[in-house]
Amino acid sequence: MTQDTSVDEIQSQALGALGAIDDIRKLDEWRVAYLGRSGRLTSVLRGLGALPPEARREVGQRANMVKSVLEKALEEKEEVLRQAELQRSIEGGKLDITLPGRRPNRGRLHPTTQVVREICDAFVAMGFQIVEGPEVEWDYYNFEALNIPKDHPARDMWDTIWIDPPSESEKPMLLRTHTSPMQIRVMEKTQPPVRVVVPGKVYRYEATDATHESQFYQVEGLAVDTNITFAELKGTLYEFARRIFGTERKVRFRCDYFPFVEPGVEMAIDCFACGGRGCRICSNSGWIEIMGAGMVHPEVLRHVNYDPEIYTGFAFGLGPERIAMLKYGIDDIRLFYSNDLRFLYQF
Ligand code: FA5
């Protein structure tokens, strides 16, 4: 018997065996037996080297032809068995093709994320860059470099959660209470002009209520250059309020105290729920505070080796959840973090 005949024999045995298979799960056994790495056809191809040169070419060509015949036959058989299986399961009632399809759940952005992006877009349109920073922060950046030394009473405004510092360091670490530490980190690395906004999560150890969470977002802003005055601060923040709330909302600036600005202000917007008459949401004041702001304190500029005689700047820090509450008429900030899909699907 020549090699050629044995290749033909393999083909007829293989096709015979394939014809007898009636279960799709058995196809792989068949594939391994004839086409696998140690399968019968592969063995013939491997043994070609041992044949006399004149037989080698002929048997080789024949074996390759048989290989593609078998591969094609396998593909066809698989399709036939698959169809038969589908037919059986339809007839057996396991698959009801008349059932309406299941609607896939589509994800969406959390309302806070949507508002953070909208706020950043408003400032980017005014020439600010977006930067981000660490949530676990050194005491130095969160307090000291911001002109809040140890034992300064202003630390009481930002009670926080302290972290055990890494063993090699004695310096205290904490969960940042505001995004203001990024003012220092940005100025340490760059020279004026600086125009950045910093979105990110912040943490405070505080009792929660309708407008206070212990974990929430802030967006910080910082602009430092020559000739920046309080007029630039007001102009920028008015423009921001117009872009986010439209022209009809009222805006109020009042003096406020933050150790890292001088002078400092608080910016508030008239209460969406009562139209300014006073209610539970605005603590009967008619106004909801949305941000703190002010002119960067010369002491802060000195900390990063900026000369306060040459450079001035303004900074602000706002709460996106409070802004989302205003925009969408949400009356309790705790809803943002309750993971209630009935709430989240509204945005
Ligand atoms: C600060 O955090 C200052 N770093 C802001 C600042 C930056 C002032 C730059 C000057 C210059 P304050 O603690 O007021 O300030 O918080 C800023 C904003 O965060 C508030 O106006 C409010 O919108 C929001 N906010 C504050 N506390 C909470 C809270 N517990 N839950 C939700 N939002 C809050």
Q: Give backbone dihedrals phi and psi of 99, rounded to 5 degrees, phi first.
A: -65, 140
Q: Which of 180, 330, 336 for a ligand 1 pocket mutation test, highest count of atoms within 8 Å of Cβ?
A: 180
Query: Which whole number is the average pLDDT over 205-231?
Result: 94
Whether 178 is a known active-site residue: answer yes
Is residue 3 predicted with pLDDT exceeding 90?
no
Pocket of ligand 1 contains residue 297 by CB under 6 Å: no
Query: Cβ(316) to ligand 1 under 6 A?
Result: yes
Residue whose CB lies within 8 A of the most ligand 1 atoms, among 137, 143, 177, 178, for a mutation test:
178
**Cβ of residue 218 lying under 6 Å from some atom of ligand 1:** yes
* Any ligand 1 atom below 6 A from CB of 185: no
Whether the per-residue pLDDT at 5 is higher than 80: the answer is: no
For residue 255, give the 3-state DSSP assignment.
strand
Lowest-confidence segment of 30-34, 278-282, 326-330, 337-341 by average pLDDT: 278-282
Residue 291 CA, ligand 1 centroid: distance in Å: 6
Task: List the one residue out of 178, 181, 195, 197 whose CA is nearest residue 117.
Answer: 197
Cβ proximity of 147 and 260 under 8 Å: yes
Stretch 139-152: mean pLDDT, rounded?
92
Which residue blocks in the chain are alpha helix, DSSP H? 3-20, 27-35, 40-46, 53-91, 111-124, 139-142, 181-189, 230-245, 298-303, 320-328, 341-344
- pLDDT confidence band for 290 (50 / 70 / 90): confident
Please confirm, yes or no, whether 218 is among the known catalytic residues.
Answer: yes
Tell me, in angstroms, the distance from the centre of ligand 1 to residue 247's CA: 24
User: Rounded CA gap, 7 and 275, in Å?
Assistant: 91
Helices then strands (H, E): number in the chain? 11, 10
Answer yes or no: 84 catalytic.
no
Give the pLDDT confidence score for residue 72 in this predicted structure. Answer: 94
Give the predicted TM-score (pTM) of the model: 0.71
Q: Distance from the CA of 242 to the center of ligand 1, in angstroms?
A: 20
Cα–Cα distances in angstroms (integers) from residue 53 to residues 56, 58, 119, 174, 329, in the given order: 5, 9, 78, 80, 87
Residue 127 pLDDT greater than 80, yes or no? yes
- Residue owning the nearest CA to atom 31 of ligand 1: 212
User: Is 158 designated active site?
Assistant: yes
Average pLDDT, the chain: 90
Calculate the CA 63 to chain-centre distance.
55
CA 279/CA 286 separation, integer angstroms = 7
Give 336 Cα–ligand 1 centroid separation in angstroms. 17
Q: What confidence score (pLDDT) does residue 1 get?
A: 40
Catalytic residue among 66, 158, 183, 293: 158
More confident residue, 137 or 164: 137
How far does the centroid of ligand 1 lie from the alpha carbon of residue 180, in Å?
10
